[in-house]
Amino acid sequence: MKDIFGLTVEELQEALQPFSLPKYRARQIAEWMYQRGATGFADMTNLSKKLREELSGAFVIGRPKCKDRLDSSDGHTTKFLLEFTDGTAVETVLMRQPYGNSICVSTQAGCNMGCAFCASTLHGMARNLTTGEILSQAIVISDMLRAEGQGESVDTVVIMGSGEPLMNYENVLGFVRLLHEDYVLGLSYRSITLSTSGIVPQMYKLAEEGIPISLSVSLHAPEQELRSTLMPINRKYPLVDVVRAARHYAEVTKRRVTYEYILIDRVNDGEEQARELVSLLRGQLASVNLIPINPVAERHLLRPSAARIDWFEHYLTAHHINVTVRREMGTDIQAACGQLRNKHLDG
């Protein structure tokens, strides 16, 4: 049976053609799936009983099961392990920030980019997620927030969970476009951020799509050699080309690009790296987000001291680079991406 979760209204209209329904029915069904928590046609009480039975015989609404859930002790962060029908599981995180609810979604089950500091890549990549599977992560959390009854909703989405989103380009774009639709979450493109390890051709392609989402680039080192040791993809798409593509994205979309920089003790937190980072980014419509590393046991990479983090931040500020340090959220619930999934894979 065809899974209709993740279809647009236009795609639904096409799928529903054999039933000769008026066009507005597709929109009603979309609203049930994406805004009203329907997990099956039986829930859709404004459709006739006969129609609900017919649709149940032709389609399924694929939604994941929640296999595990961890709440941080401060109550701000919840991590979910969601399992799809084929048994593939991914992590999705809800962060209750002062400015609203932000969620972080995965785009692939695992990842094969091989970044040295990342738990998501330890088991390689199982597969790309479909548009519906990526969207279902947002809808599961949106339904949960609505059920809590406090009038809360998903306010921002970061595409920064496991996987390299630009290696699953069409499905991720389908997801972004759906998030923006008023029959889904109606999010502005500005409240959606896509994070990439630097897949240069797709960065140029994304700039031309006419969807001005925020772009975040995982930089993590300001020079070629060091970045290649931390991020093997840097051998294929060198640092200078990544920064050039990011600059192009900022020029076309007029959106400030964020460079993510994981601070690792005695690896990339020295004065030399700070100086190189300044010269790489000076004069760009950009900001740097410093992320003191969440230690990954398998990787032996350590977090710098608080004094070192402060020093690095102040060096950038003193040299006119916009900089933020990521608030620590959820370190007590294994917030580094991939860690909860790995726990289940390792048994």
The annotation places the binding site for [4Fe-4S] cluster at 111, 115, 118
Binding site for S-adenosyl-L-methionine, by residue number, is 163-164, 195, 218-220, 294
Q: Any catalytic annotation for residue 66?
A: no
337 noted as active-site residue = yes
Cα 115–Cα 116–Cα 119 angle in degrees, nearest 5: 80
- CA-to-CA distance for 133 and 82, rounded, in angstroms? 10
Instruction: Report the residue number, 33 or 192, with the smaller CB distance to ligand SF4.
Output: 192
The number of residues making up the chain comes to 347
d(CA 271, CA 277): 10
Q: How many angstroms separate the CA atoms of 203 and 195, rounded?
A: 11
Q: 120 or 253, CB closer to ligand SF4?
A: 120
- Half-sphere exposure (Cβ direction) of 317: Cα atoms closer than 13 Å: 11
Nearest approach in angstroms of CB 9 to ligand SF4 is 32
Tokens standing for residue 114: 């091989």
118 or 145, CB closer to ligand SF4? 118
3 state SS of 59: strand
- Among the options 91, 133, 260, 313, which is catalytic? 91
Looking at the Cβ atoms of 13 and 258, the one nearer to ligand SF4 is: 258
**Rounded least distance, CB 162 to ligand SF4, Å:** 5
User: Could you tell me which residues are annotated as the binding site?
Assistant: 111, 115, 118, 163-164, 195, 218-220, 294
* Of 80, 76, 59, nearest in space to 68 by CA: 80
CB atoms under 10 Å from CB of 229, counted, come to 13
Q: Which two tokens stand for residue 293?
A: 């590393």
Nearer to ligand SF4, 176 or 184 (CB): 176
* 271-281 and 239-253 helices, crossing angle to 10°: 40
- Evaluated on CA atoms 112, 105, 134, 166, the torsion sign reads negative
> Which of 106/142 has CB closer to ligand SF4?
106
Strands 89-97 and 77-83: antiparallel
- Shortest CB 340 distance to ligand SF4, Å: 14
Residues that bind ligand SF4 (CB under 6 A): 111, 113-115, 118, 120-121, 162-164, 197, 218, 337
Q: Tokens 């990842």 appear where?
A: 111
Residue 121 CB, shortest distance to ligand SF4, in Å, is 4
- For residues 26 and 9, the answer to whether their CB atoms sit within 8 Å is yes
CA distance 192 to 216: 10
| Spatial separation of the C-alpha atoms in residues 144 and 153, rounded to whole Å | 9
Catalytic residues: 91, 337
